[in-house]
């Protein structure tokens, strides 16, 4: 894991591009809702903090109803961690953090980055807190496939050329879904974003905070916006960085994201072709795109060795390139990996793909990809009902991205075979009555296109948009003093930046 900024995945190269917009509206009352009587025991539980075994952190568990419609029907145990405010200065309260995904471990993010790397003045006045969402990491994780099964799954051809390959890809999605149902069938209907937002409110109360202060990145912005929709009067200082647009159907969101990765690739290519050793040529971004597509086509026909038991297939190579689009600091690594692949060594791109999938050297996988699919497929109806619908959408996706269009089209087919019916629908989130909410967008963000931030800020009745003109996914803590200063000021005194503020 990148200890500076873990990069969370919105749509993986294979099998998790169902994307992440949830539905389920709660209304927009501006008065603080009382706790329903059926939930009173949960809101009254005691958190028993203990040492985590990680210096400076405390850990505990919290019980929430597995099914909020049946609060007495059994609980789910959720992992929580915190680092107490360091001072000096008066403590403001707790600051919950979520790195996105869905499926990213918030506790892991807290302990490896947020409670260490967030600005000192913020850590001085907030207890830094994280809860692993239900079904994620330490919170009764969704499980689907074994390590060897995941290895095979990630190598399935995701740009099928004929009916046989289409059927093979569809079968892979079915086997993945069946594995999730077999291993985690009880929890699968109860990992929605709405339920996780309700869990966050319970934690807010147990921490003794009147309002929720929160920094959410990527999918974490949708989680934060959903909280604001359900509990507008309990919104404190919410930073939504790398924002989602909850009003989009899955197919539109996936197509937008496809275009976002094309934008990011062009930015990488423009930088690469200026260098004498660029493995994609030194003439133009168009030439670089052609060279990359040729590399992918060659791997589709003949995978290359990696020095490990797995060869580099087209699907793994594509995932490796996509992984490097999240942060421009990975561009030198990507250049080296592509140079190696051109010479017949696939180890560099395989390493990038493994980091994306959170695969350990011993062949085991974190549950990120399992939780990612489980949440996405529950939050929104599938982008495509069947393979024919995906095939009909190819032209539009390839127009959005000549490089990645085919991959993202077929990846969006995965939720068609999900064993649990979706509970959400795309809709606008206004959160009327909420305190000011800060929405942050990056102009060349690959995973959450800038227009999504514009849209969310416009939907939220109290939304303010802060713009970062630059590359990479999300903006806070990525080196812009202008961005960090604006967010820090908001977190410390509640004052959002002026309307239309732009940083670079």
Q: Which residues are catalytic?
A: 218, 445, 473
Asked if residue 288 lies in contact with residue 281, where contact means CB atoms within 8 angstroms, the answer is: yes
Asked if residue 270 lies in contact with residue 285, where contact means CB atoms within 8 angstroms, the answer is: yes
Nearest C-alpha neighbor of 93 from the set 270, 239, 212: 212
Q: Give the angle subtended at the CA of 195 by the CAs of 11 and 452, to the nearest 5°.
A: 40
Please give the Cα distance from 63 to 203 (Å, whole number).
10
Asked if residue 316 lies in contact with residue 350, where contact means CB atoms within 8 angstroms, the answer is: yes
Nearest C-alpha neighbor of 330 from the set 380, 271, 374: 271
**Cis check: omega of the bond before 225, within 30 degrees of 0:** no
Say which DSSP state 108 is in: H
Which 3 state secondary structure label does DSSP give 95?
strand
Strand arrangement of the beta sheet that strand 58-65 belongs to: 50-51, 58-65, 75-83, 126-131, 93-98, 212-217, 235-241, 437-444, 463-471, 502-503
Give CA torsion, residues 112, 453, 199, 180, to 10 deg: -80
Asked if residue 137 lies in contact with residue 107, where contact means CB atoms within 8 angstroms, the answer is: yes
Please give the Cα distance from 126 to 128 (Å, whole number).
6
Asked if residue 193 lies in contact with residue 423, where contact means CB atoms within 8 angstroms, the answer is: no
- Dihedral sign, Cα of residue 324, residue 329, residue 335, residue 336: negative
DSSP string, 282-322: SS-HHHHHHHHHHHHHHHHHS-B--SSSS-B-HHHHHHHHH
Asked if residue 184 lies in contact with residue 374, where contact means CB atoms within 8 angstroms, the answer is: yes
- Could you tell me whether strands 75-83 and 58-65 are parallel, antiparallel, or unpaired per DSSP bridges? antiparallel
């Amino acid at each position: 894991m990148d200890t500076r900024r873990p990069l969370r995945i919105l749509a993986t190269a294979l099998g998790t591009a169902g994307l992440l917009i949830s539905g389920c509206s709660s209304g927009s009352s501006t008065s603080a809702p009382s706790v329903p009587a059926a939930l009173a025991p949960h809101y009254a539980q005691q958190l028993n903090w203990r040492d985590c075994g990680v210096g400076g952190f405390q850990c505990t568990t919290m019980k929430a109803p597995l099914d909020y419609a049946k609060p007495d029907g059994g609980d789910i145990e959720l992992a929580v961690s915190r680092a107490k405010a360091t001072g000096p200065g008066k403590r403001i309260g707790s600051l919950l953090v979520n790195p996105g995904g869905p499926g990213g471990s918030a506790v892991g993010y807290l302990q490896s980055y947020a409670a260490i790397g967030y600005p000192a003045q913020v850590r001085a006045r907030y207890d830094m807190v994280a809860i692993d969402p239900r079904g994620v990491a330490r919170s009764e994780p969704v499980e689907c496939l074994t390590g060897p099964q995941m290895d095979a799954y990630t190598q399935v051809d995701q740009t099928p050329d004929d009916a046989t390959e289409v059927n093979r890809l569809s079968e892979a999605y079915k086997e993945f879904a069946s594995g999730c149902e077999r291993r985690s069938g009880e929890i699968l209907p109860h990992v929605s974003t709405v339920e996780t937002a309700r869990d966050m409110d319970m934690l807010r109360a147990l921490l003794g905070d009147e309002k929720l202060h929160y920094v959410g990145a990527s999918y974490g912005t949708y989680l934060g916006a959903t909280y604001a929709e359900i509990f507008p009067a309990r919104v404190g200082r919410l930073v939504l960085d790398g924002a989602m647009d909850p009003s989009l159907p899955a197919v539109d969101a996936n197509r937008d994201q496809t275009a976002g990765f094309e934008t990011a690739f062009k930015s990488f290519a423009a930088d690469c072709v200026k260098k004498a050793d660029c493995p994609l040529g030194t003439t133009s971004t168009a030439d670089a795109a052609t060279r990359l597509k040729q590399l992918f086509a060659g791997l589709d026909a003949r995978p290359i060795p990696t020095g490990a038991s797995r060869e580099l297939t087209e699907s793994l190579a594509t995932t490796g390139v996509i992984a490097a689009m999240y942060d421009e600091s990975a561009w030198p690594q990507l250049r080296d990996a592509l140079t190696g692949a051109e010479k017949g060594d696939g180890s560099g791109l395989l390493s990038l793909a493994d980091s994306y999938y959170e695969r350990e050297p011993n062949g085991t996988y974190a549950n990120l990809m399992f939780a990612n699919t489980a949440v996405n497929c529950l939050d929104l109806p599938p982008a495509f009902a069947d393979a024919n619908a995906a095939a009909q959408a190819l032209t539009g996706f390839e127009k959005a991205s000549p490089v990645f269009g085919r991959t993202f089209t077929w990846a969006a087919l995965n939720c068609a075979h999900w064993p649990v019916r979706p509970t959400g629908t795309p809709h606008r989130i206004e959160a009327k009555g909420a305190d000011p909410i800060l929405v942050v967008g990056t102009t060349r963000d690959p995973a959450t296109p800038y227009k999504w931030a514009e849209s969310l800020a416009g939907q939220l009745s109290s939304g303010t948009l802060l713009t970062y003109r630059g590359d990479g996914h999300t903006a806070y803590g990525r080196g812009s003093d202008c961005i960090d200063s604006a967010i820090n000021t908001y977190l410390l005194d509640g004052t959002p930046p002026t309307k239309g503020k732009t940083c670079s």
